[in-house]
Structure 1
Amino acid sequence: MSTTTKPAYFDVYKDAPNSWGWQFISINGTILAESRQDYTSEQAVLRDLRTVQANASSAPVELPDE
């Protein structure tokens, strides 16, 4: 029996009428990031999610001043 590991992925969900969101799920099922707002349409959530996908890999990490 072979086991396959599902890669990390973005999960788009609808949790109420006119309330959409997204989560980034790791390979072990942990939620690593999620939207902080409710989107009113699938198109709106996908638009912002695509912006995250396009910019995340080049975004700098900002640490707090000590």
Structure 2
Amino acid sequence: MYYHVYKDAANQWRWTLIAANNKKIANSGEGYFNKADCLSAIELVKGSASAPVRES
């Protein structure tokens, strides 16, 4: 599994999480003007392992 960081058509930074089978399983959902902000968003996702799962 890995994060793919790239620039979109609007020249903003985005990330996609790619599974071991090369399927996309998550993405940034928004573009970032600064690459550092995009990388910070990845770190937030990585650090969210203890976040609760809520069902409705």
Q: Secondary structure at the match of 1:33?
A: strand
Aligned position for 2:43: 50
* 5+ long unaligned stretches in structure 1: 1-7
Task: Write the distance in 2 (CA, Å) between the matches of 1:22 and 1:50.
Answer: 11
Q: 4+ runs of 1 displaced by more than 6 Å?
A: none
Q: Shift of residue 29 of structure 1? A: 0.8
Q: TM-score, normalised by structure 1?
A: 0.75
Matching residue's letter, 2:42: L
1:39 to 32, 35, 41: 32
Larger RCO (CA under 8 A, 6+ residues apart) = 2
Aligned position for 1:24: 17
2:54 is aligned with 1:62: yes
Q: Secondary structure at the match of 1:28?
A: coil
Q: Point out the structure with max Rg over C-alpha.
A: 1
**8 Å Cα contact 1:20-1:40 kept in structure 2:** yes
Aligned length in residues: 56
Q: Deviations over 1:3-39 (max 9, x none)?
A: xxxxx11111112464010011100111111011110
Task: Write the distance in 2 (CA, Å) between the matches of 1:40 and 1:9.
Answer: 22
Percent of aligned positions with the same letter in both sequences? Answer: 36
